[in-house]
Amino acid sequence: MAAAIRGGLSALSKGLSAHWLQQSSRGLRVAHGLCCASQSAQAAPPAHADSIFRVTMIPGDGVGPELMTAVKEVFKAGDVPVEFEEFHLSEVQNTASEGKLEEVLGSMRTNRVAIKGKIHTPMEYKGELASYEMRLRRKLDLFANVVHVNSLPGYSTRHNNLDLVIIREQTEGEYSSLEHESVTGVIACLKIITREKSRRIAKFAFDYATKKGRSKVTAVHKANIMKLGDGLFLQSCAEVAEFYPKIKYENMIIDNCCMQLVQNPYQFDVLVMPNLYGNIIDNLAAGLVGGAGVVPGESYSAEYAVFETGARHPFAQAVGRNIANPTAMLLSAANMLRHLNLEYHSHMVTEAVKRVIKLGKVKTRDLGGYSTTSDFVRAVIDNLHPTHLR
- Please state the rounded mean pLDDT for residues 246-268: 98
| Half-sphere exposure at residue 336, Cβ-oriented, CA atoms within 13 angstroms | 34
Q: What does the pLDDT read at residue 90?
A: 82
Q: What does the pLDDT read at residue 103?
A: 93
Q: What does the pLDDT read at residue 300?
A: 98
Q: Which strand (E) or helix (H) includes residue 6? A: helix 2-16
CB–CB of 208/202 below 8 Å?
A: no
Q: What does the pLDDT read at residue 124?
A: 72
- Please state the rounded mean pLDDT for residues 121-136: 76
Q: How many domains does the chain have?
A: 2
Tell whether 39 is covered by a domain: no
Which of 242, 270, 289 is the C-terminal boundary of a domain? 289
Q: Are residues 252 and 175 in the same domain?
A: yes
Q: Are residues 349 and 360 in the same domain?
A: yes
Tell whether 347 is covered by a domain: yes
| pLDDT confidence bin for 17, thresholds 50/70/90 | very low
Q: What does the pLDDT read at residue 269?
A: 98
CB–CB of 173/193 below 8 Å?
A: yes
Q: Are residues 350 and 259 in the same domain?
A: no
pLDDT at 65 over 70: yes
- Please state the rounded mean pLDDT for residues 81-107: 87
Q: What does the pLDDT read at residue 267?
A: 98
DSSP string, 199-222: HHHHHHHHHHHHHTT--EEEEEE-
Q: Are residues 322 and 362 in the same domain?
A: yes
Q: What does the pLDDT read at residue 130?
A: 74
Among 30-39, 129-138, 216-225, whose mean pLDDT is lowest?
A: 30-39
Exposure string over 71-103, b if 16+ CB within 10 A, otherwise e: bbbbbebbebbbebbebbbbbeeeebeeeebee
Q: Are residues 248 and 317 in the same domain?
A: no
Q: Are residues 68 and 98 in the same domain?
A: yes
Q: Are residues 306 and 361 in the same domain?
A: yes
- 362-379 per-position pLDDT tens digit: 999 999 999 999 999 999
Tell whether 101 is covered by a domain: yes
Look up the domain containing 189 and give its range. 171-289
- 265-314 per-position pLDDT tens digit: 999 999 999 999 999 999 999 999 999 999 999 999 999 999 999 997 77
- Please state the rounded mean pLDDT for residues 99-114: 94
Tell whether 38 is covered by a domain: no
- Please state the rounded mean pLDDT for residues 82-86: 97
Tell whether 29 is covered by a domain: no
CATH number at residue 104: 3.40.718.10
Tell whether 70 is covered by a domain: yes
CATH number at residue 203: 3.40.50.2300
Which of 246, 270, 289 is the C-terminal boundary of a domain? 289
pLDDT at 177 over 70: yes
Tell whether 264 is covered by a domain: yes
Q: Are residues 284 and 181 in the same domain?
A: yes
Q: Are residues 153 and 185 in the same domain?
A: no
Mean pLDDT of the chain: 87
pLDDT at 349 over 90: yes
Q: Are residues 110 and 181 in the same domain?
A: no
Tell whether 104 is covered by a domain: yes
Burial class (CB in 10 A: 0-12, 13-18, 19+), 208: buried
Q: What are the residues whose beta carbons fall under 8 Å from the beta carbon of 44, sequence distance 6 or more?
A: none
- The C-alpha angle 187, 139, 274, rounded to 5 degrees, equals 55
Evaluated on CA atoms 358, 360, 361, 367, the torsion sign reads positive
Evaluated on CA atoms 39, 45, 51, 56, the torsion sign reads positive
Which of 242, 274, 289 is the C-terminal boundary of a domain? 289
Q: Are residues 321 and 241 in the same domain?
A: no
Q: What are the residues whose beta carbons fall under 8 Å from the beta carbon of 132, sequence distance 6 or more?
A: 89, 91, 96, 101, 119, 121
| pLDDT confidence bin for 32, thresholds 50/70/90 | very low
Q: Are residues 246 and 257 in the same domain?
A: yes
DSSP string, 119-150: ----SS--S--S-HHHHHHHHHT--EEEEEEE
- Which range has the top average pLDDT, 178-192, 212-226, 315-329? 212-226
pLDDT higher for 8 or 18? Answer: 8
- Please state the rounded mean pLDDT for residues 337-345: 97
- 206-229 per-position pLDDT tens digit: 999 999 999 999 999 999 999 999
pLDDT at 386 over 70: no
Q: What does the pLDDT read at residue 316?
A: 77
